[in-house]
Amino acid sequence: MKQKSIPMYAEHANTSGFWTQWKEEHESFFRDVRLSFYLFSRSPLSLIGMVLVGAFFLIALIGPWIVPYPEDATGAVHMSQKLTAPGSQFWFGTDEMGRDVFTRVILGTRVSLKIGLIIICAAMGIGVPLGITAGYVGGWVNETIMRITDIFLAIPGLILALAIIGALGPGITNSMIALSLVWWPGYVRLVQGKTLSLKEESFIEAALSVGAGRARIIFLHILPNCTSPIIVKASMDMGMSILAAAGLGFIGVGAQPPAPEWGAMISIARNYLPNWWWYALFPGLAIFVTVLGFNLLGDGFRDILDPQSRGYYRE
């Protein structure tokens, strides 16, 4: 509908050197980034998600340096101050061993981040290549990959994860392996579907007709166009995988006490409800806020990366 007014510094580009050239080459990219920020800023919920996730990452990064009682992360015992209510000394109160709940919740952030990132990266690492292969090659390869994926999707994820942990033994590493193994099928489905629809686009045909090989088509044409849905799904899944890992910690097959992991903390804290409510409340809140943050962020990403809504505001 509208023609972009194109700045006319092209004439002196040759004389004014590298910087102008660089700016000219990347102007469109920056305009796209600005549009993303604009769309993002139109949605308060996505902004809240962004802030929550930002805080989560920040706390995970600097946690060990800001906590008041770093030694409480592990097996320290201060029986004299056990189950103290929240106050100026212990913001979130203390647990049954007298450890500071605030310290443990903060340090739990890093554990959760590590769990989430590793699970999602592993799931993407398995799922994305399989999905692209299935979608692009098609035929029996597609059928084989997709039917195996269907089998995995047919079994409830947590049950399968429990079975895998049953075989490997409990622990934080094993629960990450188990969750990674049940998480990939979603990515296969997503990427395969996207690949199938991209394959029909005429720019793929155009690339073929100028002689592009298979690797070029997959890595330079299909994969970059799959990134948007993958990013959306990954940010939603971050929250879900942290929740799942906390769930495993809660039923006692994930992280083992005294490791400062939220699920494992709640697992013990529930024995002290309702009188010593702070012990369960704060780790629970941490899980809640984290999952909420990632979901809101994912929703926001979906809106800003949707080509239709981009086109809408661009025109």
Partner 1 sequence: MKFLEVHELSKHFALKKGFLSRSKGTVKAVRSVSFQVEAGESYGIVGESGSGKTTLGRTILRLITPTSGKIFFNGVNLCELDPEMLRRLRRDMQMIFQDPHSALNPRKTIIKSVGEPLVIHEHMRGRALRQRVQDLMEIVGLKKEHMYRFPHELSGGQKQRVGIARALALNPKMLILDEPTSALDVSVQAQTLNFLEALQGKLALTYLFISHNLSVIRYVCDRVAVMYLGRIVEEAEVNELFDMPLHPYTRALLSSVPLPQARQPDTKILLEGDIPSPVNIPAGCCFHTRCSEKIGPICTTQEPEAVSFSSNHRVLCHLRR
Partner 2 sequence: MNTEPSILEVKDLKIHFDTFEGTAQVLDGCSFTLGRGDTLGLVGETGCGKSITAKAILGLLPVPPTRIVSGEIRFHSRDLLDLSEKDLEKIRGNQIAMIFQDPMTYLNPVFSIENQMIDVIRGHARHANKTVSRGAAREKAISLLNAVNIPNPRQRIGDFPHEFSGGMRQRVLIAMALAGDPEILIADEPTTALDVTIQAQILRLIGELVERFRHSVLLISHDLGVVAAVCRRIAVMYAGNIVELTTIERIFENPAHPYTRGLLRSIPNLARRKENLVGITGSIPDFIEPPRGCRFHPRCAHRMDVCQKVKPVLADIESEHRVACFLYESSWPSASRPEERIKPLP
Q: Which of residues 5-24 bind partner 2 (CB under 8 A)?
A: 5
Q: Which of 290, 175, 192, 182 is nearest to 242 (CA)?
A: 290
Rank residues 33 and 51 by Cβ distance to partner 2 and give the closer one.
33
Secondary structure letter of residue 79 according to DSSP? G
Task: Kindly state the smallest distance separating residue 308's Cβ from partner 2, in Å.
Answer: 12
Give Cα 271 distance to the centre of its chain. Answer: 31
Which of partner 1, partner 2, none interacts with 140 (beta carbon under 5 to 8 A by kind)?
A: partner 1
Rounded to 10 deg, the angle between the 44-66 and 13-41 helix axes is 100
CA distance 283 to 274: 15
User: Are 248 and 175 a contacting pair, CB within 8 Å?
Assistant: yes
Q: What is the DSSP string of 212-244?
A: --HHHIIIIIIHHHHHHHHHHHHHHHHHHHHHH
Q: How many residues bind partner 2 (CB under 8 A)?
A: 12
Other beta carbons within 10 angstroms of residue 29's beta carbon come to 9
6/79 with CB nearer partner 2: 6
User: How far apart are CB 24 and partner 2 at their closest, in Å?
Assistant: 19
To the nearest whole angstrom, how small is the minimum distance from the Cβ of residue 212 to partner 1?
Answer: 6
Q: Near partner 1 by CB under 8 A, which window of 18-26, 100-108, 256-264, 278-286? A: 18-26
Q: Which stretch binds partner 1 (CB under 8 A): 22-30, 54-62, 159-167, 272-280?
A: 22-30
Out of 27, 35, 110, 177, the only residue in the binding site for partner 2 (CB under 8 A) is 35
- Residue type present at position 219: F
What would the two tokens of residue 296 be?
């809101």
Report if residue 17 touches partner 1, rule: CB under 8 A: no
Q: From partner 2, partner 1, none, which one binds at residue 6 (CB under 5 to 8 Å depending on kind)?
A: partner 1
39 contact choice in partner 1, partner 2, none (CB below 5 to 8 Å, kind-dependent): partner 2
The footprint of partner 2 on residues 273-312 (CB under 8 A) is 312
> Of the ranges 26-34, 88-96, 124-132, 158-166, which one interacts with partner 1 (CB under 8 A)?
26-34
CA distance 163 to 179: 11
> Does position 3 bind partner 2 by CB under 8 A?
yes
**Binding to partner 1, residues 214-253 (CB under 8 A):** 216, 220-221, 224-225
Is 206 an interacting residue with respect to partner 1 (CB under 8 A)? yes
CA angle at 64 for the pair 95 and 293, rounded to the nearest 5°: 80
Q: What's the token pair of residue 138?
A: 């098609």
The residue among 48 and 148 lying less far from partner 1, judged by its C-beta, is 148
Q: Which of 225, 230, 242 is nearest to 294 (CA)?
A: 242
Contact 98, 77 (CB under 8 A): yes
Q: What is the Cα gyration radius of the chain? A: 24
Restricted to residues 29-48, the positions that interact with partner 1 (CB under 8 A) are 31-32
| 3-state percent breakdown (helix, strand, coil) of the chain, nearest 5 | 75, 0, 20
Q: Is 308 in the site for partner 1 (CB under 8 A)?
A: no
Q: In whole angstroms, how close is the CB of 39 to partner 2 at the nearest point?
A: 8
Backbone angles phi, psi at 32, to 5 degrees: -65, -45
CB of residue 234 vs partner 1: minimum separation in angstroms? 18
Is residue 30 at the binding interface for partner 2, with CB under 8 A as the rule? Answer: no
Query: Is residue 211 within the footprint of partner 1 (CB under 8 A)?
Result: yes
Which stretches of the chain bind partner 2, using CB under 8 A?
1-3, 5, 34-35, 38-39, 312-315
